[in-house]
Amino acid sequence: MTREFISARYDASILTVDYVGDDGTHLLRTGGTIAWRFNNPGNLRPAGETPIMGAIGVGKTKGNGAFLIFKSYEEGRLQKKKLLRRRYNDRTIYTMLTGIPDPKHPGKMMLGYAPASDKNDPLAYANAISKHTGLPITTKLSDISDDKLEDVLDAMEKKEGFHALKDKRREREVPTTTVTVSDGAMPKPDVPVQIRIGDKTYDKKTDKNGQLPKIAHIEPGKKAEIHFPDLTGAWHKQFEFVMDGVSSAYVLLHDLVSYEAPTAPKKPPASVTNPARRPFDHVVARKETLGILAARFGTSVAAIMKDNPAIKDPAKIYVGQVIGIYGPPSGRGRTAAARPAPKPKPAPAAGAAKAAKAAAAAPATGADLTRSKKGTGQPLAIVPADQKTAPWMPVAIDEAKKWAGQDESVITKTGNFHKRVGLGGNMVTTPWCAAFVNYCLMTVGAPHEKSASSQFPTWSKKFKKIDKPVYGAIMVMRNYFEDSGKAAGTGHVTFVYGKTAQGHIAGLGGNQSDRLKVSQYKVTGVSARFKLHGKWLQQKFHGFYIPVTYEEYAKSQHEPDVVDVDDVNKNFLNIANAASGANEKTQ
């Protein structure tokens, strides 16, 4: 598989761009010209500090402002060509460079590609293009064919200095290893780790995504060891690898779940017979009913309905619905699993790990705090059940309820998902299905990408393809040109919410009929057919994906429940204008 660079950073102090590949490899590019270092043959600039036109980064120079960084020379050249057609197509070669009078503002100029105000010589520039191409400087770009425009681009690259200083160019590939620590469902932040390479030891902690700093293979052939501490503070090796010429990614399981809760004294006062129970949020899982929940938590259906007035029918609750137990729901759209995790403690010895797992399996808060362990009179610390099932789904549901079927033109004004994940663009002109998915993952600290591409789970090392759908999995659709059958590079991405009676997937996502809602998608054949930019496209199912840190927990999950798409949209998500629930031509 060909490596693709997905992000880049520039260090102006050493004139070096650090390109990060989708396989984790870093390419360090230094020397040469800015245009070469940045894969930017047109010296295109950003809008502020935001990458635009498909760029993967912005590089700030010491004295010449900022420029866009592209993933490849070919991409940079393509974006320059598109810019010439989009902005200057009705101008001549000369006025493309120098600018033209602004018809809306007399006395002012609409700047060109290389105006004199930027210390350029537009006439000399235009004559250089003319000499290389044989075209008069009065030729309009709209009269130049695409093939001939390539000659114009060649002339501009020469003038911009792209090919200068070739003897100063330097590139070096540095493979890396990425290590993520997980409890089987979610990343574990702030876990102390030692990385040992030869006689050197590096003390590190996992970040908010459960990842250690990338380990660069600067000493090929040497062994790197990953160590975790036990309860006594002694370090134990959990994993090792040899640094070679290939970038790798690993997920290490660290399954100690630490709970903190007040316990009752060993000999509680006789008057304490029925202590108050702490309210908490519960996310409804598959096959659960109010009766099941009432029995599990030692309460009644009537009490749950009293605390949750949104439940009108005791026989109808929905997967993913947040309900309050022992009190009203918090309204934060979070569950015990999605709330900030307690401060992690060192990994326990084998006996302690078993005790921790036993505590994790203990009943919820409803149990009597004075219940003893093996009749010794020593109380157990009981806390709400840790719900690990797709903790990003309550966020997705909460957003869908919040916007209640409003169009993307409304959402983008105050809730632009592109901006919420750090991207540019608005939701009306830029497809936002991927931005929504990444926002939900990011909100709960799950692996995610800063990407608007619907295909991001297929290339990101943070996600793994699975054979069967589970609740909360990421469903990727892919578009194909109908005439050739080739992939168009576009598609759609949505969360698996359930299955329909017909066997289709009920997907909860954004950009579905230009809104947030549940829609159904076929997993076989053509799910939708539509025309885009004059070409007929067919949308087909590509695959199901999950965050790599969720793999162990996902293995224990069953296939999603059967749901009625229209019922979920109307009665659960409160979307009155959900449009059709049928297979959609999501573009």
Query: Tokens 């770009």, residue?
Result: 141
pLDDT tens, residue by residue, 221-276? 889 999 988 878 889 888 888 888 777 878 887 654 332 333 334 344 444 444 56
The contacts of residue 578 (CB under 8 Å, 6+ apart) are 405, 513, 515, 517, 518, 566, 569, 570
- CB-based contact 412:428 (threshold 8 Å): yes
Kindly tell me if the per-residue pLDDT of 453 is higher than 60. yes
45-50 contacts at long range (C-beta below 8 A, 24 or more positions apart): 47/424, 50/423, 50/424
pLDDT of residue 538: 92
* pLDDT band per the 50, 70, 90 thresholds, residue 39: very high
At 308 the pLDDT is: 93
User: Where does residue 552 rank: exposed (0-12), middle (13-18), buried (19+ CB within 10 A)?
Assistant: middle
Query: How do residues 376-393 score in pLDDT, each as one tens digit?
Result: 333 333 333 445 688 899
pLDDT tens sequence across 102-157: 888 887 878 889 898 888 899 999 999 999 999 999 999 999 999 999 999 999 99
3-state SS record for 420-488: HCCCCCCCCCCCCHHHHHHHHHHHCCCCCCCCCCCCHHHHCCCEEEECCCCCCCEEEEEEEECCCCCEE
For the ranges 140-144, 277-281, 430-434, the one whose mean pLDDT is highest: 140-144
pLDDT band at residue 37 under the 50/70/90 scheme: very high
What SS3 class is residue 570?
helix
Model pLDDT for residues 159-168, shown as the tens digit of each residue: 888 888 888 8
Helix (H), strand (E) counts: the chain: 15, 24
Nearest CA-CA partner of 298 in 323, 275, 325? 325
Mean pLDDT of the chain: 81
> Predicted confidence band at 218 (pLDDT cuts at 50, 70, 90)?
confident
- What is the Rg, in whole angstroms, of the alpha carbon atoms belonging to the chain? 29
Residue pair 38/67 in contact (Cβ under 8 Å)? The answer is yes
- Taking the whole predicted model, whether its pTM rises above 0.85 is answered as no
Name the region of 184 (left: φ>0; alpha: ψ -120 to 50; beta: rest).
left
**558 pLDDT tier (thresholds 50, 70, 90):** confident
For every residue of 518-537, DSSP letters joined together read: EEEE-SSSEEEEEEETTEEE
Instruction: Give the up-direction half-sphere exposure of residue 267: CA atoms within 13 A in the CB hemisphere.
Output: 0
